[in-house]
Amino acid sequence: MSESNPPVSTGRGDDGTTTLLGAGRMGKDDPRIVVLGDVDEASSFLGLARSEADEEVGGLLIELQRLLYRVMGDVAMPKEDNFVGEQDLKLLDDALEEWRGRTEIPKEFVIPGESRLGALLDVARSVVRRAERSLVAAGYAGEHSYAVRVVNRLSDLLFVLARGADGKKTLSKG
Q: Is the pLDDT of residue 107 over 60?
A: yes
- Minimum mean pLDDT range among 47-51, 141-145, 149-153: 141-145
Distances (CA, A) of 120 to 2, 56, 98, 126: 35, 16, 21, 10
**pLDDT (mean) for 128-141:** 93
What is the DSSP secondary-structure string of 112-154?
S-SSHHHHHHHHHHHHHHHHHHHHHHTTTTTTTHHHHHHHHHH
Q: What span, in angstroms and rounded, lies between the C-alpha atoms of 129 and 80?
A: 25
d(CA 101, CA 109): 20
Q: Does domain 28-165 have CATH number 2.40.128.120?
A: no
